[in-house]
């Protein structure tokens, strides 16, 4: 085992990724086929989101093993290389390829290693495919090999909730908390489960405990946002949205912020933020329409019919049957006194209904 390779692994464990990469490359300068250093280089590159370079390292281990089998005690690295390859393909959204790679890992990996590596990896791929039943089976398989692993129990609770089995999911979260009360994810998941069950008070309590452990827990923050909104505490809900957006910018929360600003009658700020969001981000059509729909509402409130018509036409260029945009267009055309065009638009709306 190369000193440089081992030290690179230690640096990775301490999240010093550039330094880890430097030492792993020194190890590979001495032996370009060193499977230990190649594997950890792949892991580091994956963490740095250099996916193609990471894949190359995994494939080099697999290729080396094909030419001449990697000897013990490093033969286990072949299974890990297939598992890491699957994880990288999963990160790239290549879920079917990832399944093929993880199945190869399962076929060659020692049973004792499958609990935390292979079966978890396969379960996460199924999660991303929306196949929650198979994901649950994978996490249950991993738990059969390591039954007190709270990380695996968390995965299981999420899948039970996704399948609508909320009582079982609740019990699973409580089992985790009985083992370790400092599990922020479990408190967050429990908050989400209580939300689904309509118990908003317990949901808020659990999300608060989660956030006292980890202030950046997204599940707990999103749950608090829903609870505060339902109680019409819009200022507090807006504060939570701001916290979420500092951690992760996504179109759903950006739309939620616009909605909160409107509920607080901060129309000018809502319009300013909408324009800012649209100028800074590239959205898929299904993400763009909800944001533009709020812009239509803002121009309706301010009676800016020309601008409203422009936005309605933009939405209709994406989805010609969008009812909100058609209604907005009718109102805008009427406000602009373009009555024949307004009548045509109303007829189009009636046709859809």
Please tell me the pTM assigned to this model: 0.76
pLDDT at 67 over 90: no
pLDDT at 112 over 60: no
Could you tell me the two tokens for 163? 């399948």
Are 2 and 36 in contact by the 8 Å Cβ rule? The answer is: yes
Are 190 and 170 in contact by the 8 Å Cβ rule? The answer is: yes
Q: What is the pLDDT of residues 248-264, one digit of tens each?
A: 888 889 989 999 999 99
User: What pLDDT score was predicted for residue 116?
Assistant: 67
Sequence-separated contacts (24+) of 272-275 with Cβ below 8 Å: 274/298
pLDDT grade, residue 68 (50/70/90)?
A: confident
Q: Comparing 6-15, 286-295, 322-331, which segment has the lowest mean pLDDT?
A: 286-295
What mean pLDDT comes out for the span 227-251?
94
Percent of the chain with pLDDT over 90: 73
Q: For residues 23 and 243, what is the distance between their CA atoms, to the nearest angstrom?
A: 37
pLDDT at 114 over 80: no
What mean pLDDT comes out for the span 86-105?
94
What mean pLDDT comes out for the span 324-334?
95
Residue 167's Cβ-count burial label (10 Å; 0-12, 13-18, 19+) is exposed
Q: What is the pLDDT of residues 120-156, one digit of tens each?
A: 999 999 999 999 999 999 999 989 888 888 989 999 9
Average pLDDT, the chain: 91
| Residues in CB range of 10: below 8 A, 6 or more apart | none
User: What pLDDT score was predicted for residue 111?
Assistant: 57
CA 98 to chain centre: 17
Residue 15's Cβ-count burial label (10 Å; 0-12, 13-18, 19+) is exposed
User: What pLDDT score was predicted for residue 1?
Assistant: 59
User: What pLDDT score was predicted for residue 288?
Assistant: 84
Q: What is the DSSP letter of 109?
A: S
174-201 in b/e burial notation, b at 16+ Cβ within 10 A? Answer: eebbeeeeebbbbbbbbbbbbbeeeebe
pLDDT grade, residue 245 (50/70/90)?
A: very high
What mean pLDDT comes out for the span 76-105?
93
């Amino acid at each position: 085992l190369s000193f440089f390779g081992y030290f690179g692994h230690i640096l990775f464990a301490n999240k010093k990724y550039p330094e880890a990469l430097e030492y792993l490359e020194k190890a590979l300068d001495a032996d370009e086929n060193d499977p230990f250093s190649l594997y950890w280089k792949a892991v580091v590159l994956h963490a740095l989101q250099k996916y193609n370079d990471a894949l190359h390292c995994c494939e080099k281990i697999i290729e080396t093993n094909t030419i001449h089998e990697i000897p013990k005690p490093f033969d286990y690295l072949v299974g890990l290389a297939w598992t890491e390859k699957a994880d990288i393909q999963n990160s790239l959204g290549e879920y079917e390829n990832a399944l093929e790679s993880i199945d190869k890992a399962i076929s060659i990996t020692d049973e004792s290693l499958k609990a935390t590596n292979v079966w978890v990896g396969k379960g996460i791929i199924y999660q991303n495919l929306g196949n929650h039943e198979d994901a649950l089976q994978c996490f249950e398989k991993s738990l059969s090999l390591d039954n007190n692993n709270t990380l695996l129990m968390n995965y299981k609770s999420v899948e039970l909730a996704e399948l609508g089995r909320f009582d079982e999911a609740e019990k699973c979260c409580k089992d985790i908390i009985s083992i370790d009360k400092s599990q922020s994810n479990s408190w967050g998941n429990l908050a989400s489960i209580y939300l689904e069950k309509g118990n908003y008070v317990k949901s808020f309590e659990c999300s608060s405990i989660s956030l006292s452990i980890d202030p950046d827990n997204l599940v707990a923050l999103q749950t608090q946002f829903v609870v505060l909104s339902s109680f019409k505490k819009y200022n507090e809900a807006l504060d939570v949205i701001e916290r979420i957006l500092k951690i992760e910018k996504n179109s759903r929360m950006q739309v939620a912020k616009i909605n909160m600003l409107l509920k607080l009658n901060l129309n000018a700020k809502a319009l300013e933020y909408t324009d800012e969001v649209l100028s800074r981000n590239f959205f898929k059509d299904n993400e763009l329409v909800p944001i533009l729909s709020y812009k239509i509402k803002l121009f309706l409130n301010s009676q800016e019919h020309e601008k409203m018509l422009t936005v309605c036409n933009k939405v209709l260029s994406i989805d010609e049957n969008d009812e909100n945009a058609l209604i907005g267009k009718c109102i805008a055309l009427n406000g602009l006194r373009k009555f024949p065009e307004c009548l045509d638009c109303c007829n189009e709306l009636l046709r859809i209904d």
